[in-house]
Structure formats: C-alpha cells, structure tokens
Amino acid sequence: MAIQSINPFTGQVIAEYKETSLKQANKKISQTHDAWLEWKLTTFRERARLLKNAASVLYNRKNELAELMALEMGKPLKQGISEIEKCALACDYYANNATAFLKDEIIKTDASKSFVSFQPIGVVLAVMPWNFPFWQVFRFLAPALMAGNCGILKHASNVPSCALAIEEIIREAGYPENVFQALLVPGKQVDKLIEHPLIKAVTLTGSTEAGKTVAAKAGSLIKKTLLELGGSDAYVILEDADLELAAETCVNSRLVNSGQSCIAAKRFIVVKSVEKEFTRLFLEKMSKKVLGDPLDPNTDIGPQARADLRGQLHKQVKKSIEAGAKCILGGKIPKGEGALYLPTILTKVKKGMPAFDEELFGPVAAVISAKSEEEAISIANDTNFGLGGAVFTKDLARGEMIAKTKLNAGSCFVNSLVKSDPRLPFGGINESGYGRELGVYGIREFVNIKTVYIK
C-alpha cells in the first residue's frame, strides 16, 4: 500500500511512499540493534561531535524544512523556521551537557567504592505526532543518541516526508548507518513493533487514547514507556493582571501551530471584575490574526492538518454553542478548498460543554468567568488533563505561589505562555501522561540507572 502526503491547504497529493512491511520493519529494528552494539561504546566526545553536526545541518536547511512542514501539515512558515531552530538548540544543548548529566555519581556506603552509573538500554521506539513533526522527534532523539541509545521512528502517517527528512539529517550529520531509522507503517502495526524483542522502550506523544493503548501493550511486555499526551491548559487571569500582556500572550498561545498544540492555551479563566476588558482585548487581538496560505510569510494561522480533524473541531464548537456557549468570533468553516478554520472565541463556557471538558485541537478559545482567585483555580484544576497552565498577576510572589502549589500541571508559568525548553523538564500528570522529556531528567528516562558496589 502507499502512504500519501497531502497538502492540507490545497487538498492535493504532493508525494506517495511505499508502506514499510512488517517483515521490512523487523529487519530494520534488527539492523538498528546491531548498530547500537557499536554505538553504545562510543565516547561522549564523539557523540557530541555528531550531534553538533546535526545541529548545523538543521540550521543550514531550516528554510527548506520549514517549507516542507508548511506543505505537508500546514504549519505557517515563520513558525516552521522557529521549530527547526529549536531542534538545533536541543542538539547543541545535549551535546554540551550530556557528559555532566550522565556522569557517574559516587555514593558513600560501607563499600570501598559504590556509585551510580547511567548506561544505555538499546533501541527505543518513538511514536510521534504530526503537529511538531521535527521538534517532537528531536526532543527525544538528541538525548537518546547522547545517552548511547538508538532510535526507531513511527511517525504520524500524514507526515512521511518529514519522517524521511529526519533520517536524512542524521545520515548527513555523519552518524553510523542505522543508528536511527524511520518506518512508514500504519498505526495498527505499532503493537507489532512494541512486541519486537529488540525494542527496549517506547516514547509516545499523541492523544490520551493512543497513550492508553501503547502503555497497555508495553506494560504487558514489561517495557518502559514515556507518554506526553493531550492537554486542556488553563490560563488564569487575576484582577491585578496586566490585561494587555495577558490578552496578547493568551492569543499567541492559543494560536501556536494554528491551535494544534498540546500546550497551547485552551481555557481562559478570568476573574469577573476584569472579564469584560480582557474579553474586549482578547477579541481585538485575535481578530487581527491572518488566516491563510502557510507558505505566505504574513500568515499567522494555517489550515488544520487534515480535513477530518477540522470537522471534529467544528462539531465540538457547535455542541458547545448548543449547550449555551456564546460565539463572539468565528465558529465557522470558511468557503473554499483546504482545511482552514476561522479563529474562534467562545464565552459563557461551562463544565459539561466540549469547550470545557475536551481538548479542542485548533484555533478555538474558551473564555470562562470566575468570581474569585479560589474559584478560578478550582475551575483550572477541574480537568482530567494536567500538561500546562499559567497565571497572570502583577504580584510575582502571588503568581509564584499559585504556580508552585495550586495549579495542577507538569509545567506552570507566570505571566508567560507555556512552552517547552531544552533546559527544563517537560511532561504532564493525569491523562496528560507521565515521565519527563528535556533537561537532565529527560536524558535519564531511557537509561539503566545502575548501582555498582565494590567491597
């Protein structure tokens, strides 16, 4: 069978690839394991040299790769360039810091010498989504390669060109053959990949349902998993917030990747005394964003990645309106070809509506009123998710206290949109997943934390 790459702005097929058979996939996994037997013996110096090469390739090809993302999944060009630059930053970060992160730790005991050593575990399967087709892969791959592991990628089926481009980047950087390979297999084959005895662990970024399926399968085989799943991030706007800053930041967060981001803000919980003014500013700033061709450098919002995803989003919006939400912007599918969706603001959103309870993966914002700080925090935490959250207040001590002790999420920001950073751990709680990527914690997720005791 063929795997098609379809431009979501035009609906045209731009490339076709032959699907990787299960037999071919098994062979590639074995090849990658054989490569690992040599790769795990390389020095940190050599691993860092090659990872810096990968960073250089990314920087040099950023415009080309950003265009590829625009064509294949609709990411606005300027956001695609930033994504590639971030991948290169992660490569440089781990090249510079992995030696210190994985250095043996001496522990004093009754032994003459005892210490903890961090050893690679083998081939890690990465099941990755389409929304950040390079960043999601490199935030796993950079630390995995520096730790001495190797990788097999099962990318989302609508971004096969991006998957193969990543394999090409690793090859161009000078890595040994087969330390990283991409498989063009359908989602139904993931269970078979996990079953392969040479796959030692699985990392997945995707929906909560996909995470449950992968975790169940890997768990039945006693294979470690790391899951970064969906989110319904809440931004709390308090009565003393800088409303200009809050509105601008909230709009930018909601429209990251045309609204198709796990950590894009979804629910905006505003203390009633400033709700009217915040909503006015929010509407004003959202209305100015440009919807259109992702290859146009002026475009802020590109198409949704697939027509079916846009259809699902529109159903969630309609159901929320039918349940009592008020649409003050957008809420419609524009005429013409492609999977565009108008930037949308819903007010009077309450629990029981899709806009409150579910993840709306697109440019749709839900404004929710709260009587007080306590009620706002209660509403923010009233979710099955727990990926990110933010609070806006001029009192930084108050904001820090709320972010640290009151908001339930893996990442909590004050007066800023939630974003991932190679230097900071990233991940969620509850149905947003478990485990951490990035920072020192990320590189230690897929290593054998080994105790060595010498009497």
Active site residue 228: yes
Q: Is 327 a catalytic residue?
A: no
- Joined together, the tokens standing for residue 14 give 């731009």
Query: Two tokens at 287?
Result: 């209305």
429 and 130 Cβ atoms separated by less than 8 Å: no
The C-alpha torsion from 309 through 313 and 316 to 322, rounded to 10°, is -130
Nearest to 69 by CA among 131, 148, 151, 1: 131
What's the 3-state SS for the chain?
Answer: CEEEEECCCCCCEEEEEECCCHHHHHHHHHHHHHHHHHHCCCCHHHHHHHHHHHHHHHHHCHHHHHHHHHHHHCCCHHHHHHHHHHHHHHHHHHHHHHHHHCCCEECCCCCCEEEEEEEECCEEEEECCCCCCCHHHHHHHHHHHHCCCEEEEECCCCCHHHHHHHHHHHHHCCCCCCCEEEECCCHHHHHHHHHCCCEEEEEEECCHHHHHHHHHHHHHCCCEEEEECCCCCEEEECCCCCHHHHHHHHHHHHCHHHHCCCCCCCEEEEEHHHHHHHHHHHHHHHHCCCECCCCCCCCCECCCCCHHHHHHHHHHHHHHHHCCCEEEECCCCCCCCCCCCCCEEEECCCCCCHHHHCCCCCCEEEEEEECCHHHHHHHHCCCCCCCEEEEECCCHHHHHHHHHHHCCCCEEEECCCCCCCCCCCECCCHHHEECCECHHHHHCCCEEEEEEEEC
Catalytic one of 262, 359, 373, 412:
262
Q: Are 377 and 406 in contact (CB under 8 A)?
A: yes
Residue where the block lists tokens 């007080």: 372
Parallel, antiparallel, or unpaired for β 113-120 and 447-454?
antiparallel
- Of 72, 83, 228, 445, the catalytic one is 228
Which residues are part of the catalytic machinery? 228, 262
